[in-house]
Amino acid sequence: MTRRRWIADEVSGNEAALTGEHADHLVRVLRARVGQEFDIASGDVVRHGRILAIKPGRVEFELGEEVLLTACSPNVTLLLAIFKFDRMEWAIEKCTELGISRIVPVIARRTDAHLASAAAKRVERWQRIAIQAAEQSRRVAPPEIAAPVKLHEAATLNTGTLRIVLAESEKEGLLRDLLAEPAGAEILLAIGPEGGWTDDELRLFEKEGWISASLGSAILRAETAAIAAVVITISELGA
């Protein structure tokens, strides 16, 4: 039987703990009990864990042997223009399950001003969503959820081997055709807001060396485009 995986909030030697809302979910929703067994992830290591104690806001584990892990997903960063929070949260959850490495929320020209001003306060919630999705999909660690940045800062990110901006105006180059890099390459994908990138924004990406690509002829919602781009990228890179 496959054991449920949890990402530890605290680890010390052969002991680990979940704390706060994290622990409350395990106790109240899943009715955890002393002696129950789970996999406990910390950093890039997963170990067999057995519940030692259940306290208010805290579940403590005894750690045992390491669990053999499968191959890691490719290193893919998603620059996600901020859009309606309920749909953005859904995109963060699903992209986490699919194996995204990092998500950078971006304030674009067409990002609603109210959403842009409120975004910084949502990061903690987005991080909790990513942790829950990572545990559900048995990841070792959640993706990093960065603080929101303005577009000009996002466009200058240069950590990727290949940087691709998804654009409705691109008529020729398909995303899958650009993914010829070997497994292990770091890929940056930029997804625009509802209404897409403006012409000025696309010119900025081009100036900074990004390559434009399309997901096909259909016009997709922002959250659908994000999920489709992550699926295609991870699939093409052999994860």
* Cα 100 to Cα 223: distance, rounded to the nearest angstrom: 14
Residues 229 and 134 in one domain: yes
Per-residue CA distances from 146 to 65, 102, 107, 134, 143 (Å): 33, 8, 12, 16, 9
* Cα 81 to Cα 191: distance, rounded to the nearest angstrom: 6
Residues 43 and 137 in one domain: no
Residues 38 and 91 in one domain: no
Give the E-state strand segments of 111-179 in sequence order. Answer: 144-145, 149-150, 162-166
CATH number, domain at 138?
Answer: 3.40.1280.10
Residues 98 and 215 in one domain: yes
Q: How many domains does the chain have?
A: 2
Angle, to 10 degrees, between the axis of helix 123-136 and the axis of helix 85-98?
40
Residues 98 and 27 in one domain: no
Domain holding 186, by residue range, is 75-236
For the stretch 61-99, pLDDT in tens is 999 888 877 666 678 999 999 999 999 999 999 999 999
* Cα 148 to Cα 107: distance, rounded to the nearest angstrom: 7
Per-residue pLDDT tens listing for the chain (239 residues): 567 888 999 999 899 999 988 888 888 888 889 999 999 988 778 899 999 999 999 999 999 888 877 666 678 999 999 999 999 999 999 999 999 999 999 999 999 999 999 999 999 999 999 999 999 888 888 999 999 999 999 999 877 678 999 987 776 688 888 886 555 568 899 999 988 999 999 999 999 999 999 888 788 899 999 999 999 998 887 65
pTM score:
0.84
For residue 71, give the 3-state DSSP assignment: coil
Residues 79 and 62 in one domain: no
